[in-house]
Chain A
Amino acid sequence: MARYERNHPAISEAEQEILAKKRVLVAGCGGLGGYIIELLGRIGVGHLTVVDGDVFIQSNLNRQLLSSNDTLGRKKPDCAAERMRSVNPLVSLRPVSTFITEENAEDLIAGHDVVVDALDNGPTRIILARAARKLKIPFVSGAISGWRGRVFVLMPDDLSADFLWCGEKGVIQGNLCFAASSTASVQAAETVKLLLDRPGLLHGRLLEFDLLSGQWEEIPLDLS
């Protein structure tokens, strides 16, 4: 298919067909989520569920791909659906305008092959990661702060990673657009690797990078 011609041979045509059948839930349609949704749609993941309870506001404009002067005030998942109809109408995108809670997390993620963390706070990450672990769904976590990003994959047999997200917020450094797009790109790649059973997952290690210093580092993380 001409649309996916440039995906090959990095992914095979057989893998392209596999992607078309896969279901991914992206939790968050903001700084990370906007780019993740775009990338997964463009590469051809067939079914996306995108979840966010927010609407776009001015402070989103510095980094959120789906935000523009035209989308201010509109529900983020609806904008994601509209964008995907234009970018890749072969993708079935289900927009869900709600916040993830302990009550709805498992129902939301059930039936998906991968859950992608594009959230913006610790407590919801904890809820979502626990739900993914309970339903035995791999979880691709990503987060940004200032010039920095962090990505890692949680597999269903892993112990909790709550220690990374619990407690007080700490120092706030803002969220820069290139930290968001870089982190999201790594998350999208990890998601596709999971869907295609490709090696080299960021599992058992954190990838942390600082775009200011130019340092990218793998930090061993044992959650076994």
Chain B
Amino acid sequence: MTVTIKFSVRELVGDMRDGAYDVPEGTTISGLLGIAQKEAGMVLSEEVKNSFVFLVGSIPAQWETVLNDGDKVRVLYKILGG
């Protein structure tokens, strides 16, 4: 199946690309990011991963959310300051 991903904070994800990824049925957001990291030849630090919050379309999602064909994953960044 094909899903797309868009990262809000480019400087945290280096060469991990925005766009479409072909992934197996049943892939989770965690799996998708694993595929994206592998393609980019990088490993995200725990600190960076802790910064992420997710939307699938406009719906809040989690690392373990199972994706469906056509899903658009938005990787936002945790913004907490004031």
Chain A interface (Cβ < 8 Å from any Cβ of B): 28, 30-33, 117-122, 125, 142-145, 148-150, 161, 163-165, 167-171, 174-175, 180, 204, 206, 208, 219-223
Q: How many angstroms between the C-alpha atoms of A122 and B82 in the bound complex?
A: 11
Binds A, one of B17-25, B28-36, B54-62: B54-62
Partner of B82, one of A30, A170, A171, A221: A30
Chain B residue nearest to A164 (CB atoms) is B53
Partner of B79, one of A149, A174, A204, A223: A149
Which chain B residues in 6-49 approach chain A with CB under 8 Å? 8, 12, 47-48
Report chain B residues within 8 Å CB of A33. Answer: 82
**Cβ–Cβ contact B58 & A145, under 8 A:** no
**Cβ–Cβ contact B58 & A143, under 8 A:** no
Chain B interface (Cβ < 8 Å from any Cβ of A): 8, 12, 47-48, 50-55, 57-60, 62, 74, 76-82
Report chain A residues within 8 Å CB of B51. Answer: 169-171
Contacts A31-B81, A148-B77 given; does A170 touch B47 at CB 8 Å: yes
| Binding site secondary structure of chain B | mixed
A94 CB to closest chain B CB (Å) equals 20
**Cβ–Cβ contact B79 & A143, under 8 A:** yes
**Cβ–Cβ contact B60 & A163, under 8 A:** yes
Chain A residue nearest to B45 (CB atoms) is A171
Chain B residue nearest to A175 (CB atoms) is B81
Which of B48, B54, B81, B82 has the largest number of chain A CB atoms within 10 A? B82
Contacts A164-B53, A208-B8, A220-B57 given; does A118 touch B78 at CB 8 Å: no
**Cβ–Cβ contact A144 & B82, under 8 A:** yes
**Cβ–Cβ contact A144 & B81, under 8 A:** yes
**Cβ–Cβ contact A143 & B50, under 8 A:** no
**Cβ–Cβ contact B55 & A120, under 8 A:** no
Besides A167-B78, A170-B47, A174-B81, 5 new A-B residue pairs in contact (Cβ under 8 A), listed by A number: A143-B82, A167-B50, A169-B80, A220-B55, A222-B57
Q: How many angstroms between the C-alpha atoms of A120 and B58 in the bound complex?
A: 25
Chain B residue nearest to A217 (CB atoms) is B8
